[in-house]
């Protein structure tokens, strides 16, 4: 039977690396992004070299109505979801005392509420099968406060709470729940920073960790994956 992974924000960075890993292992892909050209390029690249299908939809998940539209798109594509990865996120640096007005609301909508609403919408496609795996993309900023984290850290701490609650609710339902907590990973958001590549993790390493957690037997779940650059946090 075909397997499906749903991952938000799949055209860049960690999301893209996870998609490539699961595609190599025969999963059909369902993903979204705000940019149609990037989605179409991803679809063409994967389907050209893998015997799987990629389903894409343009969506801005900072808006609840578009989260629900994406959920309906997913349910119209498959009746069974094997893996759900809430990966969409945005980072705006700043301190609580002086960051721009609206930072908290915008990042809460994108980083937390999108995961909350999408998970609630898609759980009916997972629970009847007593099987599946949900991953939440958190951050080191969700377990360690730092001065320029501001509202971003608040949203990632909240994401940790969401994921822990979900784990407790679903442990008897056969659905695994894992929080991914990566440190600085070299993606487009770090381009132009005057730091050597050695100070960053590879997005592919995060993807490998996600795959390893997924590939365990049904009797075991990795509740948290904490990854940091070998030389420490930036």
Query: Which residues make Cβ contacts (< 8 Å) with residue 64, sequence separation at least 6?
Result: 109, 113, 117
- CA 170, distance to chain mean position in Å, is 19
Secondary structure of residue 63 in the 3-state scheme: coil
Distance between CA atoms of residues 45 and 33, nearest Å: 16
Secondary structure of residue 120 in the 3-state scheme: helix
Q: How many helices (H) and strands (E) does the chain have?
A: 7, 7
Q: Which helix (H) or strand (E) holds 73?
A: helix 64-77
Distance between CA atoms of residues 166 and 178, nearest Å: 9
Tally the residues of the chain: 234
Residues facing 182 on adjacent strands: 227
Our answer to whether residue 146 is catalytic in this structure is: no
Nearest Cα neighbor of 22 from 4, 2, 47 is 4
10: alpha, beta or left? (left if phi > 0; alpha if psi -120 to 50): alpha
Of residues 152, 157, 186, 214, which has the active-site annotation? 152
Cβ–Cβ < 8 Å for 30, 55: yes
| Active centre residues (catalytic) | 152
């Amino acid at each position: 039977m075909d397997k499906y992974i749903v991952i938000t924000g799949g055209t860049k960075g960690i999301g893209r690396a996870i998609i490539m890993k699961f595609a190599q292992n025969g999963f059909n892909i369902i993903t979204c992004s705000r940019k149609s050209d990037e989605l179409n390029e991803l679809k063409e690249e994967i389907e050209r070299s893998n015997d799987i299908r990629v389903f894409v939809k343009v969506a801005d998940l900072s808006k609840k109505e578009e989260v629900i539209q994406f959920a309906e798109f997913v349910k119209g594509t498959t009746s069974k979801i094997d893996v759900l990865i809430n990966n969409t996120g945005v980072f705006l640096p700043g301190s609580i005392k002086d960051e721009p007005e609206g930072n908290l609301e915008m990042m809460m909508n994108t980083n937390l509420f999108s995961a909350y609403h999408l998970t609630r919408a898609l759980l009916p496609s997972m629970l009847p099968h007593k099987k599946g795996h949900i991953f939440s993309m958190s951050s080191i900023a969700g377990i360690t406060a730092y001065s320029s984290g501001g509202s971003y850290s608040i949203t990632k701490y909240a994401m940790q709470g969401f994921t822990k609650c979900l784990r407790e609710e679903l442990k008897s339902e056969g659905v695994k729940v894992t929080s991914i907590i990566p440190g600085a990973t070299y993606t487009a958001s770090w381009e132009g920073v005057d730091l050597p590549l050695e100070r960053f993790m590879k997005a592919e390493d995060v993807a490998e960790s996600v795959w390893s957690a997924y590939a365990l037997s049904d009797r075991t779940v990795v509740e948290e994956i904490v990854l940091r650059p070998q030389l420490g946090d930036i």
